[in-house]
A = this chain, B = another copy of it.
Amino acid sequence: MGKKVEILSVGTELLMGQIANTNAQYISQRLPEVGLGVFYHSVVGDNPERLTECLHHALSRSDIVITTGGLGPTQDDLTKQVVAEALGLKLVLDQRSAEAIKNYFAATGRTMVESNLRQAYFPENSMILDNEEGTAPGCIIQKDGKIVILLPGPPKELIPMFHKHILKFFKERSEAPLTSKFLRVVGIGESLVEKKLLSLVDGQINPTIATYAKDGIVTIRVTAHDEGGIPASLLVSDTCGKISSILGDAIYTDENEDLEYTVWKLLKQNRLTFSCAESCTGGMLSELMTAVPGASQVFKCAAVTYSTDSKTELIGVDAALIEQYGVVSKETALAMVKGIAQRSGTDVAVSITGYAGPRTGNEPVGKVCIGVVAPGSQNVKEFHFTGNRDRIRVLSVVNALDMVRRAILHIESGE
């Protein structure tokens, strides 16, 4: 089985920019688990000629083509017809799928229209994949050494189908998979990370080291294949050890997990409860922390004290102190974090107050003060971030989480 995968997404809504291609992202994230690498993503509209051209091109350069979308009941859902034609296959009715579609409509109390049965026709000799979340089944076609997989467009249908059927299909056929590990770094920019790792990266072929920065976090991917009798996993962990000795406690995880999840785990392992007081970030930190399933085991509450008055009304910050030092000051940040910790009775708390922009007067946009309290410690820092409103908010949240992490681990931040 060849290993080059191309994801061909079909849908005018992608070309109109109404949605991002998160299906391609999801599939790309998962395929390395079964030793497959994605070499291309392509997107084309609901147009038979252009879809045909894209499909032929994909088949000419890739071993496995995974299409997403275009399996629905309407006239502009063309993927099965085009794939069948390109591969020289007939479309045939699958009775089991026809029954399933009828049952789905009966169960959900909706009226089936005749066109829904279009979804029960497949290229001959397909392996048909049930859709438990919708009416459009997917399928796997193998012909002339190529594999073509047709998946539905809605992520809530695609993801369970991929998880259940596609990974299994490839696992059963897998040879020597690649192994990857992802280290994540907070508090250091991408170019500095690259510079520090230069001697390690230079001329490195197996493992390969790649960095990627997003939202204040740098992710370092280390990927290897078995070589000279040494298993890939050993090659990867050896290199990760070297990276660790260079970057130290700026690496917050080797599990490829988000920073809020690492902080949640630390809080949980140490049986600590958590609260926060946010101003310029407007609830972003709270929303991140509560997006973790099981958040309620550590997260108690947040006060989003956006207006100056509400800092006094909700968490009892002394109005005179704000007046004296300013609403964005270390003193106010410290009063906020003490206020929320005291009201909520949590072990750990963090506060954020800053100017995220856009500028309305002569306030220093980007100035953000963050305070943290934890058992036996308190800390407050002033940051000066650059970028637009969203960037400043995101960097504020990331640095607040890092201060919480360091407070729990008793790490001094290396400034």
Whether B301 lies near A313 (C-beta < 8 A) is yes
Interface string of A282-312 (1 = CB under 8 A from B): 1111110111010110011111111101100
Whether A344 lies near B310 (C-beta < 8 A) is yes
Query: Is A1 interfacial (CB-CB < 8 Å)?
Result: no
Contacts of A302 in B (CB 8 A): 282-283, 302-304, 306
Min CB distance A183 to B, Å, is: 13
Say which residue of B19, B27, B210, B296 sits within 8 Å of A306 (CB atoms).
Answer: B296
Task: For the complex, give the distance between the alpha carbons of A345 and B30 in Å.
Answer: 49
Task: For the complex, give the distance between the alpha carbons of A285 and B306 in Å.
Answer: 13
Contacts of A28 in B (CB 8 A): 14-17
Chain A stretch 1-21: residues in CB contact (< 8 A) with chain B:
9, 12-21
Interface stretch (choices A91-99, A388-396, A399-407): A388-396
Min CB distance A341 to B, Å, is: 12
Contacts of A103 in B (CB 8 A): none
Contacts of A413 in B (CB 8 A): none
Min CB distance A257 to B, Å, is: 13
Query: Is A174 interfacial (CB-CB < 8 Å)?
Result: no
Min CB distance A109 to B, Å, is: 10
Contacts of A278 in B (CB 8 A): 283
Interface string of A317-356 (1 = CB under 8 A from B): 0000000000000000000000000011100000000000
Instruction: Select the residue from A221, A278, A295, A302 with max chain B CB neighbours within 10 A.
Output: A302
Task: For the complex, give the distance between the alpha carbons of A390 and B17 in Å.
Answer: 22
Min CB distance A309 to B, Å, is: 7
Interface size class of A (residues with CB under 8 A): 35 or more
Interface stretch (choices A53-61, A79-87, A120-128, A231-239): A53-61
* A76 and chain B: residue at smallest CB distance: B210
Contacts of A306 in B (CB 8 A): 286, 290, 295-296, 299-302
Task: For the complex, give the distance between the alpha carbons of A304 and B30 in Å.
Answer: 34
Instruction: Select the residue from A108, A357, A389 with max chain B CB neighbours within 10 A.
Output: A389
Copies in the complex: 2
Task: For the complex, give the distance between the alpha carbons of A282 and B309 in Å.
Answer: 22
Whether A300 lies near B310 (C-beta < 8 A) is yes
Whether B283 lies near A290 (C-beta < 8 A) is yes
Query: Is A173 interfacial (CB-CB < 8 Å)?
Result: no
Known: A20-B21, A283-B284. A301 touches B310 (CB 8 A): yes
Task: For the complex, give the distance between the alpha carbons of A219 and B282 in Å.
Answer: 27
Query: Is A38 interfacial (CB-CB < 8 Å)?
Result: yes
Interface string of A25-54 (1 = CB under 8 A from B): 111111010000111111111000010011
Query: Is A254 interfacial (CB-CB < 8 Å)?
Result: no
Sorted from nearest, which 4 A-B pairs have the closest CB atoms?
Answer: A282-B290, A283-B283, A17-B29, A283-B286
Given contact pairs A295-B306, A314-B344, enumerate 12 new A-B contacts (beta carbons under 8 Å): A14-B28, A17-B24, A19-B25, A20-B25, A39-B44, A40-B44, A156-B387, A278-B283, A283-B287, A290-B304, A293-B357, A302-B304
